[in-house]
Structure 1
Amino acid sequence: MSLRAAVLGHPISHSKSPALHHAAYSQLGIGISYTAIDVTEQMLPSLMRQLRDQPGWRGLSVTMPLKSAMVSEVDEVRGVARTLGVVNTVAFEKHGSGSRAIGFNTDVTGIVNAVRHAGGGTPVEPVILGGGGTAAAAVAALTELGAGSALLFVRDPFRTPEVRAAAESLGLSLEIRPLTEAAEPTAAADVVISTLPPRAADGLAAEIAALKTSTSGVLLDVAYDPWPSLIASVWEAGGGAVVPGLEMLLYQAVEQVRLFSHLEEEVNASVIDVMCDAVGLPRRAL
């Protein structure tokens, strides 16, 4: 029986996940094929029904805009994904003659590792840009990093139910403001996590550049195509540390590989090295 895994999202052609996973499974010597499947929210229930009837599925990586919708399509949600109501990973576990779909969230680990390895300490004045499922993961990550509060800047303050719920569940004090007010607080922040889609932060980047002030904190821009993004370039020019979204993608993919391969200790430094090489990412020590 052939083993399979995939990344689901819309659009999905730009995804680097297949390169990361193929490199890992090749290094591990496991025959797991990994594909990208373009799926809208409306198509997701039908697709999940199909996958349940097909043997050999080990797991799914879940990206925009499916992370919240996937919660209703799995048999169980575990760990921080249950608190957030956001699933970016589905692992299929054997159950009798069939399997059960288990939802996880590895984005939180990805964000924590990305910020921590860029030199970010305990955030005192952190900022989150964007209000979707990845922003909810950013709330959990900031909590794990020791933050007690955060500013959230969004295009529509009324469309933030996941982030509000995450902050309330985790005890993080969250102040929500419109994105039009983000320039000065963002430039002054010690940690900034941008979960905005590609190019959506360009206007803000121009405003920060016009301030002609230093940016001494850490910026994680989850969007990694095109790279560098305008906000990353402006941030670096101001003296701040920049973490590409590709690095977060790597860290969360490492956790997915462990779940899909059913291996733990074998997913070690040598596996992470080949994953970095597959997407041209400089190696940082985990």
Structure 2
Amino acid sequence: MTDKLPYAEVIGDPIEHSKSPMIHNFWLDALGIEAEYKKTHVTSEGLPVYFLARRADPDWLGCNVTIPHKIAVMDYTDDPGGVRERIGAMNTIASETGGPLIGTNTDAGGFLQPLLRDKWKGQSAVLVGAGGAARAILFALTSLGVPDITVMARDAGRGQALLDRAGVKGRVIGMTDALPKADLLVNTSSLGMVGQPLLDLDLKPLADDATVYDIVYAPLETQLLKTARTRGLRTLDGLEMLIGQAALAFDIFFDAEAPRERDEELRALLLAA
């Protein structure tokens, strides 16, 4: 690959852990598309300079956005789909040649894919965290009509603001409070990620047939998932959402459908890396 190829990328701080380049480049190779996907470290202070430089680059197709920029990047994009109002966070930005940067969110769709595949019919959910990923996941759960939602957050005000923005009459609990009985527990935070504190919860209050879904993927086998499996609960790991949201973004960047029939091969590649 050369620097003259069209390219997309993922930005964040930190970014070293990101598996997005491996996913997108696997699909590009599989489809024979002459383009590439990179990862670029961008700090919060560096966002203005980053977008200024990328707007001037004719080969730049856009970027995915990870922690901690999913809310801040909304200041740099147009929003024809109303993502600011409906979700309040963006994880995908597409570059329109000679036009504006278009922001959207593929996290919500990527999060839902394994739940829809498994025909999940739960009525209650607990979200750990109240950041950008939580906004997309709360939107996804409300689109399923889940009536009972609890947010577990360090900052009660931020947790309540998350619910208020979505128009959800849920409840907020602290990080040391006991979990309610629920059908689904989702870790939307960075807790458990490499370099971050572990998320160590007592899962006994969860329903016996509950699903525990951790969107952290570095490491893939988090302490939360280990604890859930010990209790015999169904688990979904971070690659489920990562691959799902990446497929939606891939179509946006490269105008091609990701070859999802090769998911098993891709997953094996990611696990071996």
More contact order relative to length (CA 8 Å, sep ≥ 6): 1
2:175 equivalent to 1:179: yes
Determine if contact 2:185/2:212 at 8 Å carries over to the other structure. Answer: yes
Gapped regions of structure 1 (runs ≥ 5): 282-286
Determine if contact 1:224/1:244 at 8 Å carries over to the other structure. Answer: yes
How do 1:159-174 residues align onto structure 2 when only pairs under 5 Å count?
159-160=158-159, 163-168=162-167, 172-174=168-170
Instruction: Give the Å deviation of 1:201.
Output: 7.4
2:112 equivalent to 1:112: yes
Determine if contact 1:133/1:163 at 8 Å carries over to the other structure. Answer: no
Q: Which amino acid aligns with 1:259?
A: I
Determine if contact 1:19/1:279 at 8 Å carries over to the other structure. Answer: yes
How do 1:36-47 residues align onto structure 2 when only pairs under 5 Å count?
36-47=39-50
TM-score by length of 2: 0.89
Determine if contact 2:79/2:102 at 8 Å carries over to the other structure. Answer: yes
In structure 1, the partner of 2:252 is 259
d(CA) in 2 for partners of 1:137 and 1:60?
A: 17
Select which of 221, 241, 249 maps to 1:228.
221
Secondary structure of the 1:180 match is: coil
In structure 1, the partner of 2:96 is 93
Instruction: Give the Å deviation of 1:126.
Output: 0.9
2:132 equivalent to 1:144: no
Q: Structure 1 residues 78, 5: CA separation in 2 closer, same or farther (over 3 Å shift)?
A: same
Instruction: Give the Å deviation of 1:254.
Output: 0.3
Gapped regions of structure 2 (runs ≥ 5): none
Determine if contact 1:213/1:238 at 8 Å carries over to the other structure. Answer: no
Instruction: Give the Å deviation of 1:77.
Output: 4.7
Instruction: Give the Å deviation of 1:203.
Output: 5.1
Q: Which amino acid aligns with 2:92?
A: T
In structure 1, the partner of 2:127 is 128
Determine if contact 2:220/2:238 at 8 Å carries over to the other structure. Answer: no
Determine if contact 2:12/2:40 at 8 Å carries over to the other structure. Answer: yes
Secondary structure of the 1:37 match is: strand
d(CA) in 1 for partners of 2:28 and 2:234?
A: 32
Q: Which amino acid aligns with 1:220?
A: Y
Q: Structure 1 residues 162, 280: CA separation in 2 closer, same or farther (over 3 Å shift)?
A: farther
Instruction: Give the Å deviation of 1:162.
Output: 6.0
2:184 equivalent to 1:191: yes
Determine if contact 2:8/2:38 at 8 Å carries over to the other structure. Answer: yes
Instruction: Give the Å deviation of 1:27.
Output: 1.2
Instruction: Give the Å deviation of 1:246.
Output: 1.3
Instruction: Give the Å deviation of 1:228.
Output: 1.2
Query: Percent identity between the aligned chains?
Result: 29
| Stretch deviating more after TM superposition (151-160 or 269-278) | 269-278
Instruction: Give the Å deviation of 1:60.
Output: 0.3
d(CA) in 2 for partners of 1:81 and 1:250?
A: 23
Determine if contact 1:152/1:176 at 8 Å carries over to the other structure. Answer: yes
